[in-house]
Amino acid sequence: CRHDESVLPMKYRLILPGVIAAVLLFAACAPPPPLRDDTLLQDTSLTTTDSECTAPCWRGITPGETTWGDAMTILEDDATLENINVQEDDQSSAKAADFQQKGGASCCQIISNDGETVGVIFLRVAPTTTMGELLAAQGEPAYLVGSQYTDDQAVMNLIFPEKSLVAYAFVPGTTGSLTEDSEIVGILYLTPSDMDLLVKTSNLHTWDGYKSYEAYDTSEFDVTPSVTLTPTPEGG
């Protein structure tokens, strides 16, 4: 099984309406990997106070600011990470670097659309942080939307525009509900401009507390999102 074509997605493909959770599939073969996996990245950065590196900064890497070379140095010098694999796009300047927790499963990726500056950080994380802990540290998300992964797995995409952050909370399928004990299984950091594009081109619900997956789902035609935004040609 190969995932070469999806390893280097175009910048806007990552944030097209209705495809936010699809980035979770970048390393997926059949059958899809479980979303809750203790061998994924061990990371508590969403709940750890670090005045010098707050979202969307992760371990000193900030989308839109950190150069590709500096980011690679940070990854290579991090003793908790391994198997850093860089791929380049033959048809553009884009680059992507896959990496994983030392001794763990493939989990993570940074992407540069221009080959010069990091534009995206995507992390699949071990389920060690809960929704309650996330909200206590980061505040409430502005928007969210549900995305199905398998019959018994789904995620709630929690969108924090001011932090250029999307956090993915696990829900046990489309019949499940989001609670303060729901586990965070993924993190996406974007540039401010890409976050702005995501919000402007997506059908999103405004945050209204802990509710069922169905309450925040936009996959059905009879569901009217709390926020309906018009896609721009740039966003596809």
Kindly report, residue by residue over 107-120, the tens digit of the pLDDT. Answer: 999 999 899 999 99
pTM: 0.82
Instruction: Quick: pLDDT tens for 137-173.
Output: 999 999 998 888 888 998 899 999 999 999 999 999 9
- 230/144 Cα distance (integer angstroms): 17
CB atoms under 10 Å from CB of 173, counted, come to 13
* pLDDT tier at 186, thresholds 50, 70, 90: very high
Token couple for 8:
């280097």
* DSSP label at residue 42: -
Burial annotation 8-22 (CB, 10 A radius, 16+ → b, else e): bbebbebbbbebbbb
Q: Give just the sign of the alpha carbon dihedral 148, 192, 115, 16.
A: positive
- 100/96 Cα distance (integer angstroms): 13
C-alpha pair distances (Å), 234 with each of 10, 11, 13, 201 = 12, 11, 11, 9
Burial annotation 64-100 (CB, 10 A radius, 16+ → b, else e): bebebeebbebbeeeeebeeeeeeebeeeebbbbbbb
